[in-house]
Structure 1
Amino acid sequence: MDEDSISRKSYQEKRDANRDRTLSDGRVVVNGRTVDCIFLDISETGTRIGFDTPTWLPSQVYVELPDGNRVLAERRWQRGNVYGLKFILPNNI
C-alpha cells in the first residue's frame, strides 16, 4: 500500500456519526429570515441540505430540524445548491 492510499480516507470514515438518508422539508435562518430547504441526510453531528434555487449561507446558521427543534450549525462545504453543515450545539435527533 502506498502512502497516498494510506492517507486518503473516504468521506464515510471521516464522519463523526453515521448519516441517515432522508428527504424531509426543513428551514434555515439566514440573516433573520427563514429559507426553505430539503434535508438530504442527517446525523447526530450534522446534515446535508439542498435548495431549489441558488442560496448563500453565512458561516453559521440556525437549522430547523424535521422535529421542529432549532440547532446552530456551521457551514463546512458547498457544492452548487447543496451544503454540508456541522451542528455546533448538542441536539437530540
Structure 2
Amino acid sequence: TNIVLPQAIPPMIPPLGNYVIAMFKETPILSAITVLDLMGEALAQANFSYRYLEPITLVAVGFLVVSLGSAATIKLLETHLNLRAA
C-alpha cells in the first residue's frame, strides 16, 4: 500500500502538540537559557534586593505565557484542521 503524507499529518498534530509543550517544560529554551539559569538569576536578584516574590513570579509568568501560547497555537491548528476528538 502507499502512504499519503498529507493524510498522515493531521492525526499527528494533537500528540505532537502535547510533545512540544512537554519538551518546553522539561528542557531549556532554545538550548540557551535553562530553567536553572533563569531561577538562578532570579534568586541572585532576590538576594541582592531582599525581594523574592517579584523575580520568581516573573520567571513563572514567563514560562506560563510561553506554555499557554503554545497550547493556544496548537488548539487553533487543531480547530483549523477539524481534529477535535469526541
TM-score (normalizing by structure 1): 0.21
Higher relative helix content: 2
Structure possessing the higher relative contact order (Cα contacts under 8 Å, 6 or more residues apart): 2
TM-score (normalizing by structure 2): 0.22
